[in-house]
Structure 1
C-alpha cells in the first residue's frame, strides 16, 4: 500500500490526471489487480464457453539428464481435446488442479500485429523449451499460453488485456521490451472479439555509457520523490524532460508545459534507444523557472515563483541563521522579499535552491577571502586590440562614481548602468522601483568628454589639445576601460562569479554595501 500511495502522489504532483482509476470513475470498483479476481474469472469462463480457451490438467514434468535436462510445463496430454463437460466434471470432482489456457487459433499464422513505431511485430519463433508455463511468462507468444493459474489468479498478460478493455484504453505506449508480448495480447483481443488498442513500443532508456539506466545516475537519484525533494526538480520540468525522450519533436522549441505538450505531442518516436542526458533536465529547469519569473515580472504577481522563493529563503536561513534578524533584514518577510528580487534578477541560472544560493552567496554574506586577487595591470580588448588598464585607475573611477552625491550625479557625463542604478535607488531597502529589464548587461559607462578628462587626471602630461590619432587611441582605451571596469566591479562585488548584470548586483547590494566592498569612503 505504501508503494501504491507513493505512486499516486507522484503522478498527482506531476500534474497528471487520469480519466479512470483510483479516486476517479466507478466508485464501487477496485483497481487493484488482486481484488479483481472475480472479473478475470468471469472473462476466462467466457473464453471457455466460446472454445477460445480450455482447461489443462497437466503438471510440470522433468525429463532428460545433464545438459539435456529440461522441464516440460506445457500441455502434453492434449487437454484441449477434452469436452467441456468432461473438463468441468474433473474440476467439480476435485480430482486435480487445472489451469486455463488460450487455444491456438487456426488463422494465427496469417495474423498481422501492427505497431505505430515499428510497423509490424513478428512473433518469436518457438523452441522446444518455449512451452508456456503456469506463470504465463515463458513463451509468451506461444500457443496454449496460461491465462488463469491453478490457484484461480490471472497471469499478468490476461489481466492486462481485460483491464485495458474495461477501461476503454485506446493507445498502449510502453517500452520495447514488451514487444514480445504484443502478439499474445492481440490474440487475446481477437479471442474475445474486442477491438484492440493501438500499440506503440518506444526504445529503452540508457545512460551516457549506453548501459541500461539505473535508479541512480551519478549524484542524482532517479526516483520521482528524490528528484523533487532532494534535487528540487519542478513537476513541469520532469514531465517536459520525460516527454522528449525518444520523441521526434517536429518543432524547434523543446520547452513545454503540460498544456503545450497536449497540443503539440504526437506518436512519432525514434525506433532506437534513448540516451538520458541530465544536462537537458537542468536546461529545461532553468527555462521553466525563467518563464515563471517573466510572468511574475509582467503581472507583478509573485504567486508563480512563490514555492521557488520559499525554497531559496529556507536554504538561506539554514546557511546563515542570523541573517533574517540583522542589520540588513529586520525579519523573515524582508529576507523573503530580497530572495524574490534575487530570483527575478537572475532566474535563468536557477537549477535548485541549494545550487542557486551557493552561486549567489555574495548577495547574502560577504567573505573577503573569496575575492580574487586582481593584477595591478589588466590586459583587456578595446576595439579588437589588447589594451592595458591599471587597477589603480579602476579604483579611482569607482571612487569618482560612488563619492558623488546621488542627487547631483545625473549632471555628470556618466552613462547608464551605475548612474541608472544610483538614481533609481541603489538603496537595497527601496529596490521595488528598479526595473531589472532596463539595466543593460554591458555598461556604457563613460562619455567621451568626461573619459578624456579622467584620462588626463590619471596620465601625467596630457594637457595639450589631442590629435586625431590620440583621440582614436583614447576611444579604444575607453572601450577597454568599460570592459575592465565591469570586470573590476564583478570581481570586488561578486567574487568574479557569473550571475545577473553588474547593475543588478549593485542594486541588490545597495549603495553602502557597494561602497564598503569597493573600499570607497563617503
Structure 2
C-alpha cells in the first residue's frame, strides 16, 4: 500500500482481476516485464493466475509510435470515413494475430474470427499498414453486396449508400446551376459537372421525401455492378457517375481516343469497318432482342454471338476480338467498367440503344472532321 493509503497499481490490478473472475489477460508487450510480479502476487494469495498473452506494440512503417497522421485516431473518424464496422474489426483483429485455418487472405466475419481465434501472437512490434484497412473495407463491401440480406443492406445504407446518394444529389444540384448559367468560374468542379448528361434515375424529383427506399435500391444496384477500386463514398459516387447520368456527346468525343485503331484496322466479320459501323451493327443486333426478355442471361447469349465478330488490330499484329471494348465506350465512354451484360440489364433496352445511337452519331461526326491523308 502507498503512503497515502491507496494500493499500488500492480496490487489493485491483481485483486480486481481475481474478484471479477478474469480468465485471460491480453495486453501490450510493455506490460510483459510486470507479469512475473503479478504472478507472484497471485501465488502469494493462493489464487490461480489467469492466462497471460502479450501483443506487440503498434508502430508505423518507420517503427515509430503511431501518431494522428498514421491511424492513431478515434473510432469515430473511421465511421465518418464510411469504413464498415466489419472491415475495421477484421483489420484490428489481425494486428499481431493470424488465423491458422483461414483460406481467404484473412478476410473474416465476426463468426470466423471467434471460430479461428487463438492466443498465438506475432512477436515484436506490429507495423500498421493503412492500405490493408482499405483492402478489408473493399472486401467486406463486396461480401455485403454479393449477399443482399436485410442486415447487409442496412449496413451499406448507413455507411455507403446514404453518403453516395447525398453526393449524387449535390452533384445534380451543381449540374442544374450550371445549366442555369450560375457557375461562371470555369473551375475544375464545373468542368467535371459539365461532362454529365441528364440523370437516368429518378433520384432528384422529391428531395424532401422521407422514403428513399427506391433511391437506395438504385444506388445499391449501381454500386453492385460497378467494378472499381472504390472504398469511400466519394470514390463510389465517381465510379457510378455514368450509371446515374447519361454520358454526353462531348464526353464520348473526349474519350474516343481510347479506340486507337484507325478505320482501316477495324473489322466486322473480317470486313474493314469504322467505329460508327460497329455501333450501327450492335444497334441492329440488340434491337432484335425482345424487350420483355431483356435480362442478363438473354443479353449475354446475344453478345456471345455478336461481340466476337468485331475485331481490331494495331499497326502490327493479328486482329483481336474487340466487340466489348467498343460497347463499353459506346455505353460509358470508358475502357473498363461493369460486365457488359449486367450493365445493359441495369440500363434497360431503351437507354442502352439510346447511348449506342449517340455513340454512332459521335463516331460519324469525328470521322467527318478527320483530315484526309
2:84 to 234, 237, 242: 234
Q: Distance in 2 between matches of 1:294 and 1:490?
A: 23
Whose Rg is larger? 1
> Displacement, 1:367?
5.5
Show the counterpart of 1:33. none
Contact 1:349–1:499, Cα closer than 8 Å, also in 2: no
SS in 2 for 1:168: coil
Q: Distance in 2 between matches of 1:221 and 1:500?
A: 36
Show the counterpart of 1:198. 51
Show the counterpart of 1:444. 304
Contact 1:161–1:185, Cα closer than 8 Å, also in 2: yes
Contact 1:176–1:203, Cα closer than 8 Å, also in 2: yes
Q: Distance in 2 between matches of 1:320 and 1:260?
A: 42
Show the counterpart of 1:489. 327
Q: How far does the alpha carbon of each residue in 1:172-231 deviate from its partner, in whole angstroms, 9 at most, with x for none? A: 1111111122122222222322211111111112222332222332xx6642110112x2
Identify if the C-alpha distance between structure 1 residues 292 and 248 changes in structure 2 by more than 3 Å, giving closer, same or farther: closer
1:159 to 2, 6, 12: 12
Q: Distance in 1 between matches of 2:172 and 2:165?
A: 10
Contact 2:296–2:342, Cα closer than 8 Å, also in 1: no
1:378 to 229, 249, 261: 261
2:283 to 402, 419, 441: 402
Pairing 1:295–2:147 present: yes
What TM-score do the two structures reach when normalised by structure 1? Answer: 0.52
What TM-score do the two structures reach when normalised by structure 2? Answer: 0.70
Identify if the C-alpha distance between structure 1 residues 445 and 335 changes in structure 2 by more than 3 Å, giving closer, same or farther: farther
More helix by share: 2
- State the Cα RMSD in Å: 3.8
Identify if the C-alpha distance between structure 1 residues 490 and 172 changes in structure 2 by more than 3 Å, giving closer, same or farther: same
Q: Distance in 1 between matches of 2:330 and 2:344?
A: 11
> Displacement, 1:279?
2.1
Show the counterpart of 1:318. 170
Contact 2:144–2:152, Cα closer than 8 Å, also in 1: no
Q: Distance in 2 between matches of 1:270 and 1:281?
A: 19
Contact 2:27–2:54, Cα closer than 8 Å, also in 1: yes
Contact 2:165–2:219, Cα closer than 8 Å, also in 1: yes
Q: Distance in 2 between matches of 1:183 and 1:376?
A: 70
Identify if the C-alpha distance between structure 1 residues 189 and 505 changes in structure 2 by more than 3 Å, giving closer, same or farther: same
Q: Which runs of 5+ in 2 are unaligned?
A: 177-197, 207-211, 312-317, 362-373
Contact 2:59–2:66, Cα closer than 8 Å, also in 1: yes
Contact 2:87–2:136, Cα closer than 8 Å, also in 1: yes
Pairing 1:338–2:249 present: no
SS in 2 for 1:199: strand
SS in 2 for 1:444: helix
Q: How far does the alpha carbon of each residue in 1:441-477 deviate from its partner, in whole angstroms, 9 at most, with x for none? A: 9x535288xx4xx99xxxxxxxxxxxxxxxxxxxx74
Show the counterpart of 2:195. none
Higher relative contact order (CA 8 A, sep 6+): 2
Show the counterpart of 2:239. 359
Q: Distance in 1 between matches of 2:277 and 2:74?
A: 55
> Displacement, 1:342?
1.1
Q: Which moved more, 1:370-379 or 1:169-178?
A: 370-379
> Displacement, 1:261?
0.7
Aligned length: 314
